[in-house]
Amino acid sequence: MSFKINRKITRQIHVGTVKIGGNAPIAVQSMTNTHTQDIAATVAQIHRLEAAGCEIIRVAVPDDEAAAAISAIKKKISIPVIADIHFDYKLAISAAESGADGLRINPGNIGGKNKIKAVVDAAKTNDIPIRIGVNAGSLEKDLIKKHGGVTVNALVESALKQIDLMASFNFSNIKLAIKSANVPQSIDAYRQLSAKTDFPLHVGITEAGGLFSGIVKSAVGIGMLLSEGIGDTLRVSLTRDPTEEVRVGFEILKALGIRQRGVEIISCPTCGRCNINLFEIAETIEKKLLTKTKPIKIAIMGCVVNGPGEAKEADVGIAGGDGTGILFKKGQVVKKFPQEQLVSELLKAVDEFEDKK
């Protein structure tokens, strides 16, 4: 029996040209780590993110110069820009006027009712959505006191409170995020929020950490939510180059069979029967194929005898041992060659597969 995810259908909004919610594909986002005021550096990083598959980009707006830079940045890129605002509501207004495709505000630090209304009015005028980004690290003090700490109920109440406030301003062009560095807390908070509202949800685990811990936390947290049908857009938060966030995001979607982009690699963990340097071969091939965008499943196996059978679902694959390499497609051996040609033969086969698609 195949695994099927029953995705919750939420309201649909638009961030620039990208649809979020409804039946739209789950979008992969990231955030620049350049100084937004440095237009050249920010644009260069966004271009790398676009090549990696990033579909929406968020930029920090700490001052007026950063807000003004959005206009110039947008002219040089092809994906929508969300302005990330903390503390100063006037920066949200400036970013909207500068052409931002969306605003992200944090209810824990943006200010009172009048300031939020001013941001909502700017979003209405410029016809852009607002992401209400509740964060465990900056939750409203009154909610912390009411709930006896940063709890799931406190996080959910913060989000619902903001929805009600914006509804009082006749504004519903909203998406929601409710993040914590605590994975179980994040999962429970998203579950509760999803049950209480039909606004689209941006899912992620905040401050997830470096490469290994960040990938594990994000894969568990985001993956569990997506497997339950919760989530319309995602960001993997890593203390790394943001292009790696995008790559991991698509890997999570691929692992769940939700979206297919680029290469999916099947490779054996190796054992005492392996007579080739499979670690080096797999790493070389992975790096060579990073820029591929068309879906393809490849196998890199260490045993000529069992490799094709163990990876028969792969579109193309290689296996080697005792000086001989083989190329197989859908489990059937199609070519034999010297073991030294394993990498080149697989790369050639991938190119041929793409040409036929």
Residue 275 confidence (pLDDT) above 90? no
> Which has the higher per-residue pLDDT, 293 or 240?
240
Measured distance CA(244)–CA(302) in Å, rounded: 27
96-105, 172-181, 263-272: range with lowest mean pLDDT: 263-272
> Which has the higher per-residue pLDDT, 274 or 331?
331
* Token pair 């909502």 in the structure block, residue: 120
Measured distance CA(353)–CA(44) in Å, rounded: 31
Measured distance CA(284)–CA(344) in Å, rounded: 10
pTM (predicted TM-score): 0.87
83-92, 124-133, 264-273, 333-342: range with lowest mean pLDDT: 264-273
DSSP state of 201: B
Residue 305 confidence (pLDDT) above 70? no
Measured distance CA(278)–CA(292) in Å, rounded: 21
Band of residue 1 on the pLDDT scale cut at 50, 70, 90:
very low
Using an 8 Å Cβ cutoff, are 301 and 268 in contact? yes
Average pLDDT over residues 275-303: 85
Measured distance CA(206)–CA(190) in Å, rounded: 13
User: Structure tokens of 288?
Assistant: 């060579």
Per-residue pLDDT tens over the stretch 13-62? 999 999 999 999 999 999 999 999 999 999 999 999 999 999 999 999 99
Using an 8 Å Cβ cutoff, are 286 and 298 in contact? no
Q: What is the CB neighbour count within 10 angstroms for residue 108?
A: 18
Domains of the chain are 13-255 (3.20.20.20), 263-356 (3.30.413.10)
67-81, 105-119, 340-354, range with greatest mean pLDDT = 67-81
Contacts for 240 with CB less than 8 Å, ≥ 6 apart: 210, 211, 214
Band of residue 260 on the pLDDT scale cut at 50, 70, 90:
confident
Per-residue pLDDT tens over the stretch 178-194? 988 899 999 999 999 99
Band of residue 323 on the pLDDT scale cut at 50, 70, 90:
confident
